[in-house]
Structure formats: C-alpha cells, structure tokens
C-alpha cells in the first residue's frame, strides 16, 4: 500500500505509534511532500515556544524521531512535478489551501492513500475519489 502523509498526520502518527512507525514505513511505501519537515518542525516549535505544551527537550526528542523516519520516507518534490496550475485550480474549486490541495493532487495522480487529520481535506478527498485515512486509523499497533 502507498501512503502520502500530510505534516499533521505524520506528527500525530509519531505521537500515537512511536517507533512502531519505523516498521510500518519499512513495510509500506510511505511518502511526504518536500516541506513536511519544516511544517513538523514549525508545529513542534509552536507547541514548545508559544503553547508551552512541550519542553525544548521533549520537542527535540520528537524531532529526532521525525529525522529518523524522514530518512526512510520517500520525499516527493512537488516543485519538480510542476503541478502549480492544477493545484491552484483544485484550491479554488474546493476552498482548500494551496498546500492542502497539493497533497490531494499528488495522492490522486500517484494513486496513493492520503493520511490526514484535517477534516476539510478528508471531506474533499471523498468527493474527488482519493482514499483518505486518519492517523489513528492506520493499521499499526502502538509500541
């Protein structure tokens, strides 16, 4: 099975499944888009710096696991795919952000199952024939 994780779902999956994600990634084709690392890093920074939900050490521990997982994930270069016009068309037609529309378009073009916890993206994916799974519904046993 091929999975395309958006950044929120990747971070949530890491929190839910921990190191069990490594095995899942090794047994399946799992992908992210180019900017996912920065999106995850920014989310951790926000949780640590602004929301005070994580200490700097806790955020660093999560980021270490993210680094390890990203070395095993396929990173799809959305810039090289030159899908800007198609992405903006989907964004305008559906009301999704350009960023979310890019996940939807790549998943559709590559026949991948999208993994997202974004309600709007999940609902739109159903309307355009892209299978979408929430991070909590991945076939993984927590470690």
| Domain region containing 78 | 2-135
Q: How confident is the model at residue 84 (pLDDT cuts 50, 70, 90)?
A: confident
**The pLDDT of residue 57 is above 70:** yes
Is residue 13 assigned to a domain?
Answer: yes
Q: Which residue has the higher pLDDT, 142 or 49?
A: 49
CA-to-CA distance for 65 and 58, rounded, in angstroms? 11
Is residue 54 assigned to a domain?
Answer: yes
Is residue 48 assigned to a domain?
Answer: yes
Is residue 18 assigned to a domain?
Answer: yes
CATH code, 15: 3.40.50.1010
Contacts of 67 (CB under 8 A, 6+ apart): none
CA-to-CA distance for 18 and 95, rounded, in angstroms? 33
Neighbours of 79 (CB within 10 A): 11
Is residue 142 assigned to a domain?
Answer: no
Mean pLDDT in residue range 88-107: 94
pTM of this structure = 0.90
């Amino acid at each position: 099975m091929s999975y395309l994780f958006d950044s929120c779902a990747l971070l949530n999956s890491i929190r839910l499944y921990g190191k069990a994600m490594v095995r899942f990634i090794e047994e399946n084709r799992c992908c992210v888009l180019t900017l996912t690392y920065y999106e995850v890093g920014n989310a951790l920074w926000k949780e640590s710096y602004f929301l005070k939900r994580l200490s700097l050490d806790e955020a660093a521990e999560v980021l270490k696991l993210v680094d390890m997982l990203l070395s095993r994930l396929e990173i799809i270069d959305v810039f090289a795919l030159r899908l800007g016009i198609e992405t903006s068309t989907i964004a305008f037609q559906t009301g999704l952000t350009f960023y979310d529309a890019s996940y939807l378009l790549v998943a559709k073009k590559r026949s991948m199952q999208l993994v997202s916890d974004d309600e709007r993206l999940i609902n739109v994916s159903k309307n355009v024939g892209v299978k979408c799974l929430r991070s909590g519904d991945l076939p993984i046993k927590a470690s």
